[in-house]
Structure 1
Amino acid sequence: MKHHAPEQLQAIAKVDRNYQCRAISRSERLERWADLLEQSPDRRLATLHQTEYQPPSVRAAMRSDGSPISVAFEDPILRTAGLENDSYGEARRFFELTDNQLHRVICYCHFGATVSASTAAYHLRKLIARQRMFARLREMFGR
């Protein structure tokens, strides 16, 4: 996948900078990402090496062709909703994940050089379930 600046794309396609991004909730974004991964469950995806040991600026810029994050970035719906690239930092921002949460989905130390799309989706689904559980608890206790 080639990455281009909007100015470069202007020469190739008509880019509307005023196009309104469709706002979708965090859980909808995570669900969409998991759904995309589950479409090709046996696909081997690249992991990112030792994310937990990188300085924040290096970690934010980390990316790899064919990673679980790349699967999300290939989706026009997620891009329209505001996913700007397939870097670790952008995935963290867009999906509103902590370093620890994203680490469990993407890091080499858990899976080796590659992870199956179904395994990455499984870890996203665990995050979604946990989010729902905490939302229910907040409702129960009025917070």
Structure 2
Amino acid sequence: MKHQSRDELRTVADITAKPVYLDRTQRLQRWSELLGRDPNRSLAALAGTEYRAPRERDVMRSDGSPLSVAFEDPVLREEGLGNDTYGEAKRFFDISDEQLHEIVCYCHVGDRMMAARAAYCVRAVIGGHGVFA
């Protein structure tokens, strides 16, 4: 067998890195860690998630929100996070409307929240309970 470098192998084969598969808890932990990297970062809250019709709520998003922090991460995108909308986060992280509401809604924090607060709320979901439960 002849030794070849990766570059040499790429000319004759399609070489891709083995995909990482994270379970639900690992996905949530990663999101919490991403938020925790800059705990004082000011993030945008989503307005009135609990009052929106499901179709309208599912497409809600905001630049600089806790959802966009998750979507900025190449690992979570590789895992299948398709965008930074409410509905996509609910699907990808496999969380309820009530749980996601506690993480992103403005009714608890006003227009802005600290990343540390969002990270705390994500960790509460990992623990199997809500922040206000």
* Runs (5+) with no aligned partner, structure 1: 1-18, 132-143
| 1:20 to partner: Cα distance | 7.5
Q: 1:106 aligns with which of 101, 104, 107?
A: 104
After TM superposition, the structure 1 = structure 2 runs for residues 1-143 of structure 1, keeping only pairs within 5 Å, are: 22-130=20-128
TM-score (norm 1): 0.76
TM-score (norm 2): 0.82
Which residue pairs with 2:6 in the alignment? none
Instruction: Write the distance in 2 (CA, Å) between the matches of 1:25 and 1:108.
Output: 28
Question: How many percent of aligned residue pairs carry the same amino acid?
Answer: 52
* Contact 1:29 1:78 (8 Å CA) reproduced: yes
* Contact 1:21 1:82 (8 Å CA) reproduced: no
Report the secondary structure of 1:89's partner residue: helix
Instruction: Write the distance in 1 (CA, Å) between the matches of 2:84 and 2:19.
Output: 18
| 1:124 to partner: Cα distance | 0.7
Report the secondary structure of 1:115's partner residue: strand
- For the pair shown, the structure with the greater C-alpha radius of gyration is 2
Instruction: Write the distance in 1 (CA, Å) between the matches of 2:38 and 2:79.
Output: 22
| 1:129 to partner: Cα distance | 1.5
Instruction: Write the distance in 2 (CA, Å) between the matches of 1:22 and 1:92.
Output: 20
Instruction: Write the distance in 1 (CA, Å) between the matches of 2:84 and 2:18.
Output: 21
Greater fraction of residues in helix: 1
| 1:23 to partner: Cα distance | 2.1
* Runs (5+) with no aligned partner, structure 2: 1-16
What number of residue pairs does the alignment pair up? 114
Instruction: Write the distance in 2 (CA, Å) between the matches of 1:76 and 1:59.
Output: 25
